[in-house]
Amino acid sequence: MRALVTGGAGFIGSHLCERLLEAGYDHVVCVDNFLTGSRDNVARLMKNPRFQLISSDVTHGIVIDDQVDVVLHFASPASPADYLRHPLATLRVGAEGTRHALELAVEHGARFVLASTSETYGDPEVHPQPESYWGNVNPVGPRSCYDEAKRYAEALTMAYRRARGANAGIVRIFNTFGPRMRPGDGRVVPTLVCQALGGTPMTVTGDGSQTRSLCYVDDLVDGVLRMLDVTEAGPVNLGNPHEVTMLELARWIRTLTGSRSEIVQVPLPADDPKRRRPDITRAGALLGWQPRTPLEEGLLRTIEWFAARGEVALTVPTPASPEARLAVDIRR
């Protein structure tokens, strides 16, 4: 089995490449233009002869000589800071990038999985969000470059399935976190963790009452791999139904890091969703999937990773202890 992952040097993409190799794939090809991905994310994989890195922009086409059995389209800026900085590139990869990836899958008779997003639901008026909900998206707002790019990518995927017989499926990914997130990418977990570890004020947008449901990256990747093993079209929600407010999350991270940082409020971004929680009934029924990593455990692993990169000494207590917390000694 040979796999191709677009955006494979990104946060989720790199974990996906790693898991595909661990699952026994004969060859894993990572295609990335490094707009938001990083060679560091796949540096360890470069030593594996079954891994290949291609530096290329999928909006210009995908050229590969060997047979491909699965195509996973994960190329796209995904954080608000990134897609607001690169709105045209975000729209192009959702449109032309998706088309090229689908053409490749059809040509090779490969299973295709599109990484869509919970952002297709916009600021939802239905809670929690089932896949049957069509969403509440502002098509001309600042976030529309990402929201509409993914909505178009979903429509294109289904059109290829109906018109070209593509073995294509869609996963809608809710907020995911873990090691390899970029400190400055604007997403809530790396922002709060780095602020807490650095002893700087922890910023919460608005009054902090808006909610997110956070899924650890290992669980998310497991769901994606299960989507490869079926022929279902989806879409299928992948996320953790454990919903927390942003103020609760900030306080939790401050406790886990042992930080004394002050929590401060900053203006709420335009079109920021008030609530976000997936209905994962379909994922359970079709894939036998549900997240297994408790939020606290995932946060501890993520904090440890960021702390190690920032030369912060760690003392990690025994996980079995109900009072386990992460003690840090900041040396900056």
| Positions marked catalytic | 146
Phi, psi (5° rounding) for residue 166? -65, 135
Q: How many residues does the chain have?
A: 332
**Single-letter amino acid code for the residue at 316:** V
User: At what angle are helices 144-164 and 98-108 packed, to 10 degrees?
Assistant: 20
β-bridge mates for residue 54, sequence order: 31
Closest CA to 61 of 101, 107, 8: 101
Q: What's the CA gap between 187 and 253, in Å, rounded?
A: 14
151 exposed, middle or buried (CB, 10 Å; 0-12, 13-18, 19+)?
buried
Q: What's the CA gap between 164 and 214, in Å, rounded?
A: 36
Q: What's the CA gap between 200 and 222, in Å, rounded?
A: 35
Q: What's the CA gap between 79 and 93, in Å, rounded?
A: 15
3-state helix, strand, coil in the chain (%, to 5): 40, 20, 40
